[in-house]
Amino acid sequence: MGSSTMPWTADDIPDLNGRTAIVTGASAGLGLETARRLAERGARVVLACRNAERAAAAAEVIRESAPDAELPFVELDLASQESVGKAAVWVHDEFERIDLLVNNAGTLNRERSVTADGFESTFATNHLGPFAFTGLVLDLLQAAPHGRVVTVTSGLSARQGTSFELDDLFYERRKYKGLSVYAQSKLANALFAFELQRQLNGTGSRLISVVAHPGAAESDFAQNLGPTVAFLSQPPIRWMFRIFMQTVEMGALPTLRAATDPGVRGGEFFGPSGASKGYPVENKIGEQACDPELAAELWAESERLTGVTYRFDDDIAE
């Protein structure tokens, strides 16, 4: 499946019948494409989204190529710890195990806003929400024979020098710049995912944590990047930027490989073969994202802020 001569594609996704996946932010863009491909290969895919109508529309799109797909919906607003908790309760009521969790949903706010929990909105949605949700369904993930958590970060997290201040995660002191706040949150995603694998190591659990980034994909997320980028991302002129951008279908491949390739190991990082586009390969990531001290400190602070404490079972059933 995939090699130096034959790139990994969606055709390499194995049979997923009997498996249950949760994809956050599955109503559009990369999340929808990820959910569609998983469903086509037989997975039951839980569409974890904020909006029921958009999730229903996404399910219709998926059924065009996977007419028999099981596509349950759970309302999940990652900016709200109350919503995260309710969604986790629903998942426990519905399933005995979860084989795959894809932490895909994300946002970028150009102006600072605060959630009902008192958290800066971008950091709350992109990191604290996924951190809490993963922890609350961890037992179901560990109940699967070969469970996986795939956390979608950004190429920004691979760059050294992203501003990250544990004592100012919510940009209360620093000048608020949307892209900088977004980059910090995506670095937090990578730190979380690698630390999750460190904590799983040696526990006897078969659950693995993997990281992926889509490169520069032509998704509707570009609308969050400001009027100039949004204008340049419009279909009539988008073709001019294909030299460094790729389709949503290509952008979803690193996540799909991280989620389904049988050869993937915990702690690996997948992205495009080029700087911003290409078929999915294992990527290198900056030292900052792999810093175990920083990751441990962020982990402790995330547990404090969310009230979610991870519990790892040392005695996993075979």
Spatial separation of the C-alpha atoms in residues 114 and 169, rounded to whole Å: 12
**Known catalytic residue at 182:** yes
Query: Cβ distance 33 to 249 under 8 Å?
Result: yes
Angle at 66 between CA 252 and CA 126, to 5 degrees: 35
Report the alpha-carbon angle 151-157-163, nearest 5: 130
CA atoms within 13 A on the CB side of 86: 13
As a whole number of angstroms, the distance between CA 280 and CA 19 comes to 23
193 token code pair: 């995912």
Q: How far apart are CA 282 and CA 179, in angstroms?
A: 25
Closest CA to 313 of 209, 202, 211: 202
Yes or no: say if 87 and 113 are a contact pair by the CB < 8 Å rule.
no
Q: DSSP code of 149? A: E
Q: Using CA atoms, how far apart are residues 10 and 290, in angstroms rounded to an integer?
A: 29
User: Whole-angstrom Cα distance, residue 299 to residue 193?
Assistant: 10
How many angstroms separate the CA atoms of 294 and 289, rounded? 8
Catalytic residue among 171, 176, 182, 310: 182
Q: Write b or e for each residue in 210-227: b if 16 or more Cβ atoms lie within 10 A of its Cβ, otherwise e.
A: bbbbbbbbbbebbebbee
Maximum Cα interatomic distance, the chain, rounded to a whole number of Å: 56
Residues 6+ apart with CB under 8 A from 244: 216, 275, 276, 277
Residues annotated as part of the active site: 182
